[in-house]
Amino acid sequence: MSTETFTRKPSSLTSSIYPKHIPKLRVGAIKDDLGFTLSERLALRQAWNLIRPFERRYGQDIFYSFLNDTYWGINKFRNAGELNLKALHLHALQFIHFFGVLIEESDPVMFQLMINDNNLTHSQCKVGSAYIGNLAQALVDYVLKVFQKVSSLSLEQGFRKIVEKFQSYHDQLPAKTAYHRVSKLDVH
């Protein structure tokens, strides 16, 4: 036998396949695009499945107690001195429902747009982002208290991340006019 058969150079096809590169090993929990781990996302969704049938009651409990603790908050629902109960009840239900929709949202762009839109709407009503962040924290505290026997570290961390996303939003001052020009109405 000649030595040519043993010292043959590998073909380009075999050199592209072998040796196979080992992928980099990731240590720890893998996070999705929103920053949640799989166990946090699962814990949030499971908790929300337990909350969903009681949205109205939990929303009212949290919203009313929070508004009463911040005495001026309830005044946002007054029309000519009278308390608008319909708007108050509807807002309590929408508040907790919005939190649930955020938990179900998996697209990071849509998630951020929802938070931005929510905070922009509230800032137009002179309700600051700190107030919204505190309300979100009140919801988390309430839910964790209700589910304290079945709560987990993943659930607590998942809720904390949502509250952080609310609190990271900063109030934006609305522009005076387009292109930031001053109009006659802006000059006193």
Confidence of residue 178 (pLDDT cuts 50, 70, 90): very low
Radius of gyration (Cα) for the chain, nearest Å? Answer: 26
Structure confidence by residue, pLDDT tens digits, 73-108: 677 787 888 888 888 888 888 989 999 999 999 899
User: Is 10 contained in some domain?
Assistant: no
In a domain, 52, yes or no: yes
Alpha-carbon dihedral 137, 141, 144, 147, rounded to 10 degrees: -130
HSE, side-chain direction, 13 A CA sphere, residue 163: 17
Q: What is the pLDDT of residue 80?
A: 81
Banded pLDDT at 9 (limits 50, 70, 90): low
Taking CA 134 as the corner, what is the angle to CA 130 and CA 139, rounded to the nearest 5 degrees? 150
Name the residue range of residue 139's domain.
28-170
Q: What average pLDDT does this structure show over 139-160?
A: 91
182 within a domain of the structure (yes/no): no
Would strands 78-79 and 82-83 be described as parallel, antiparallel, or unpaired? antiparallel
Highest-pLDDT range among 11-15, 113-117, 127-131, 164-168 = 113-117
Residue 37's CATH number: 1.10.490.10
Quick one: which of 146, 1, 118 has its CA closest to 62? Answer: 146
Name the β-bridge partners of 82: 79
Q: What is the pLDDT averaged over residues 169-176? A: 51
pTM of the model: 0.70
The answer as to whether 2 is a domain residue is no
Lowest-confidence pick of 19-33, 37-51, 129-143: 19-33
In a domain? residue 9: no
Q: Please give the tally of structural domains in the chain.
A: 1
